[in-house]
Amino acid sequence: MCPHVDDIPLDKSNAVAIETDSPHIPMPNGNSNVETSSSSKDASTLPPAAKPVHQQQKKNAYGPRYSDFLSNTSNWSIIESTLREGEQFANAFFNLETKMKIAKALDDFGVEYIELTSPAASPESFEDCKAICNMGLKKAKILTHIRCHMDDARLAVETGVDGVDVVIGTSSFLREHSHGKDMTWITKQAIEVIEFVKSKGIEIRFSSEDSFRSELVDLLSIYRTVDKVGLNRVGVADTVGCADPRQVYDLVRTLRGVVSCDIECHFHNDTGCAIANAYAALEAGATHIDTSVLGIGERNGITPLGGLIARMMVADPEYVKSKYNLPMLREIENLVAEAVEISVPFNNYITGFCAFTHKAGIHAKAILANPATYEILKPEDFGMSRYVSIGHRLTGWNAVKSRAEQLKLEMTDEQVKDATAKIKELADTRTQSMDDVDRILRIYHTAVTSGQMKVGEQEVLQELLDKHMPQDK
């Protein structure tokens, strides 16, 4: 199917990760590990390589298969575009100082590339580009993103960037209403720019724009042409956010068979698929994903850095942890959120205030027994912490029991259930804070141990609470 198998690492780590690499992070159907170690001892004691493939597959009916030899979910790079796509966000206006702060933070985090606004956009953009190239970042290569014009290309190479990302609209919408050129002109132009940039000895990427509304044959033709001319990456861009994961998988998988260079993907999030599309692209053999911090960009933005990390942690946690400084995520998001005057969404991936909060009683009970039951990500990997919310009417007595234990209050199950009933009764009128719950437990514990009340004497308990609980609430 793909003539470039040799270029693409057979994705062992990915399949193996699910079996053994991440015992603490349960993977889809990862529980079958248990089955195996109990039911088929001999097999499980063999080294993975020695196990028959069909048996390894059987362990995870939904997981990666060895037939997915194209998958790069354990072999990919980030092209961080907060300083390019992100600068196109409605609120974004980065001065050089802010740009340098963000570039430094992204480099410390460990992104492979940082993409900057075209130096052709304004005189300051040009100067900022040069300044950031001179920062001497540790790891991140600097790219700038330009239109497919020789004028822009000449400016770009002058800035000292490590590479140039060239883009041109290939859909008839853009050909008609944007630059108004046909595919022949586009191809000719592309080759001239590519040859020029290569002659300067730096990286070059050629991307179509609005790829998913472009004629498939036009796309494949121009990608094949530029690939033969020779370049580092071709780019696929869902500029309007219309693509879904199966379309992305089909296109990238087809493209993987047409070009031998790397494949970069750029996904807008207008219809909520930017993260899933990035994942599908990697499964189909893409190598580079564009992100921005908190996803900021045109309209509602692109694949967010944190969201992509969350997704990829499921595929191969060890690989992600080995590449990036995950606990920095929150700090980078705060830095950018402040710069563009927005607040981090309440439901943000990983760092959202409720990302690791468990509320329903049944969840709380299981989480207390084993966090893996209701968590696919471990908060500690990101320097975050887990919170089990119990002061509400959905709470279960198991959560209350564990809290009582944390407070070193010796109580029988009967007593805990009795106290829980009261907590839920109070929560029916107002959510009880952790402090409220603690007070109720302490008052209850003192009362039953001192003999002031017996289990089930709700009236006595109410009197004690009225007496000892703060009334201001």
The catalytic site residues sit at: 363
The residue among 312 and 447 lying less far from a second copy, judged by its C-beta, is 312
The residue among 174 and 447 lying less far from a second copy, judged by its C-beta, is 174
The residue among 231 and 248 lying less far from a second copy, judged by its C-beta, is 248
Shortest distance, position 89 Cβ to a second copy, whole Å = 7
Query: Residue written as tokens 């052709």?
Result: 120
Cα 222 to Cα 181: distance, rounded to the nearest angstrom: 14
Q: Is 314 helix (H, G, I), strand (E, B) or coil?
A: helix
Cα 368 to Cα 388: distance, rounded to the nearest angstrom: 8
Shortest distance, position 165 Cβ to a second copy, whole Å = 14
Is the C-alpha dihedral spanning 291, 208, 228, 204 positive or negative?
negative
Shortest distance, position 49 Cβ to a second copy, whole Å = 25
The residue among 124 and 158 lying less far from a second copy, judged by its C-beta, is 124
Amino acid identity of residue 291, one-letter, is T
DSSP letter assigned to residue 210: S
Contact present, 393 and 424 (Cβ < 8 Å): yes
Shortest distance, position 361 Cβ to a second copy, whole Å = 8
In terms of Cα–Cα distance, which of 215, 232, 111 is closest to 166?
232
Shortest distance, position 301 Cβ to a second copy, whole Å = 5
Q: Strands, DSSP E only, in 194-323?
A: 203-209, 233-238, 262-267, 288-291
In terms of Cα–Cα distance, which of 90, 50, 72 is closest to 280?
72
Question: Cα angle at 70 between 323 and 224, to 5 degrees?
Answer: 105
Contact present, 230 and 195 (Cβ < 8 Å): no
The residue among 203 and 375 lying less far from a second copy, judged by its C-beta, is 375
